Amino acid sequence: MVGAGFAGVGCVRRLERRLTEREAVITLLSPFSYQLYLPLLPQVAAGVLTPQSVALSLRRSQRHRTRIVPGGVVGIDTAAKVCVVRTISGEFVTEEYDHLVLAPGSVTRTFDIPGLAEHARGMKTLAEAVYIRDHVIAQLDLADASDDEQERAARLRFVVVGGGYAGTETAACLQLLTHNAVKRYPRLDPSLIKWHLVDIAPKLMPELGDKLGAAALDILTKRGIEVSLGVSVASVDEKTVTLTDGRVLPSRTLIWTAGVAASPLIGTLGSETLRGRLVVSAEMDVPGLDGVWALGDAAAVPDLAKGEAGAICPPTAQHAMRQGKAVADNLVAKLRGERTRPYTHKDLGLVVDLGGLDGVSKPLGVELHGAPAQAVARGYHWAALRTNVAKTRVMTNWLLNAVAGDDYVRTGFLASKAGTLRDFEYTDAYLTPEQVREHTGSFRGAVGSGGGH
């Protein structure tokens, strides 16, 4: 199993339950020792939740059966059936497989915009959420200490790109952080704090429909967030963000959440992809690659419930965790010579927490906004957390934050990193096919000479 996210952990847990130790050895290849509950990440950045509360330990929920290799897969030799893993100590090790389940998720999608790689910060990993929180508080600290009006204004202007649920939640939650923080910074003029939410699309969160999109826009605008639709970033440098409508915004913060792209590991396979995601059958096996399955954000799983030819499942946790269970069932069926089944799930809707007492949600087609929407959003996520310990941590954090607020403390742990997408999402960590073959040459020899594994 490659990846311990919603899809990977869903699959491993099901396999552990359904297969005996004599039937299968399960190995999980994961650089982290936790499953990240990504939908609550904006609340980590905002300081409402601690990082630990959304990092669900892999060891606590395991039935002590699965062997966990701490590292990321950097290449796969599908002919020799071997993965090359870079462990967390930087060494390369190889792992053979009979069946390989690929669930490495996605990374932040970027475009060829000048300065983006150097200056944009993502919201896809725990490190990024913690980094952004520190960075935003650092801007408040530096603006407070500065006597230069221009520097103050630039440090207090924040730009978020991406009007999907991730970007909208991030802008809303972080704006609340700065709004509430100013009372601890008596030297700062609150009117200098400016938040911009920018998206090239004409609507916010189009998947919620016109009415709720407009409700979200209304909530954000009333809070003072300037939403610019039909606009993107033309270029960015250390001190300015230039928009495609010609505006030049002095700012030290560009948070980039303009969609996701499948993990770069998928591109190294040389197999067919659809919008970057690995093409799989409705049963989630990969055509032409013996014993390989793929799911979650990394795979283009046909969306049979939609009933439209060519539709693929959206990259959501809702699908990924269900696909995990479905792949496990199909893998077990394959091992036992039984019939595999196509994956189908009808979308349950979307819940969006905008911080404070605000939200917009559309559970099972029912449109909600304001406090009821937020209650549904928090209730849904709370129920979906996999362990009781995580549920307790999250609930305690919510209550504590509601009663005592935030202390706006910078941890400084990541201050020495530039915090780029490359730093935190390891987008350039992968091997070329030739490098993979250098690591797996001995296995290829064994296959070629008739030796098995």
Ligand X SMILES: Cc1cc2nc3c(=O)[nH]c(=O)nc-3n(C[C@H](O)[C@H](O)[C@H](O)COP(=O)(O)OP(=O)(O)OC[C@H]3O[C@@H](n4cnc5c(N)ncnc54)[C@H](O)[C@@H]3O)c2cc1C
* Residue 249 within binding range of ligand X, rule CB under 6 A: no
37/185 with CB nearer ligand X: 37
* Residue 296 within binding range of ligand X, rule CB under 6 A: yes
CA atoms of 41 and 48, how far apart (whole Å): 10
Q: What pairing do the DSSP bridges indicate for beta strands 292-294 and 100-102?
A: parallel
* Residue 30 within binding range of ligand X, rule CB under 6 A: yes
Q: Can you state the angle between helices 6-18 and 317-335, rounded to 10 degrees?
A: 30
End-to-end CA distance of the chain: 18
- 3-state SS assignment for residue 151: helix
Residue 192 CB, nearest distance to ligand X (Å)? 27
Q: List the one residue from 80, 176, 320, 327 that touches ligand X (CB under 6 A).
A: 320
Residue 296 CB, nearest distance to ligand X (Å)? 2
* Residue 160 within binding range of ligand X, rule CB under 6 A: no
Q: Are 100 and 81 in contact (CB under 8 A)?
A: yes
Say how many C-beta atoms besides its own lie within 10 A of residue 43's C-beta: 25
Report which of 104, 80, 106, 101 is spatially closest to residue 27, judged by C-alpha positions. Answer: 101
Element (DSSP H or E) covering residue 195: strand 194-199
Residue 191 CB, nearest distance to ligand X (Å)? 29
Q: List the one residue from 13, 81, 119, 124 that touches ligand X (CB under 6 A).
A: 124
Residue 298 CB, nearest distance to ligand X (Å)? 6
Q: List the one residue from 44, 73, 261, 385 that touches ligand X (CB under 6 A).
A: 73
55/243 with CB nearer ligand X: 55
CA atoms of 121 and 143, how far apart (whole Å): 20
**Window contacting ligand X (CB under 6 A); options: 216-224, 316-324, 388-396, 435-443:** 316-324
Q: Report the amino acid identity of residue 425.
A: E
Count of residues that bind ligand X according to CB under 6 A: 34
Residue 376 CB, nearest distance to ligand X (Å)? 12
* Residue 38 within binding range of ligand X, rule CB under 6 A: yes
Residue 425 CB, nearest distance to ligand X (Å)? 9
Q: List the one residue from 31, 213, 355, 419 that touches ligand X (CB under 6 A).
A: 31
Report which of 129, 127, 108, 167 is spatially closest to residue 45, judged by C-alpha positions. Answer: 129
Residue 451 CB, nearest distance to ligand X (Å)? 27
CA torsion, ordered 108, 174, 214, 347, to nearest 10 deg: 50
> Which residues form the interface with ligand X (CB under 6 A)?
2-8, 29-32, 38-39, 41-42, 72-73, 103-105, 123-124, 165-166, 263, 265, 296-298, 315-318, 320
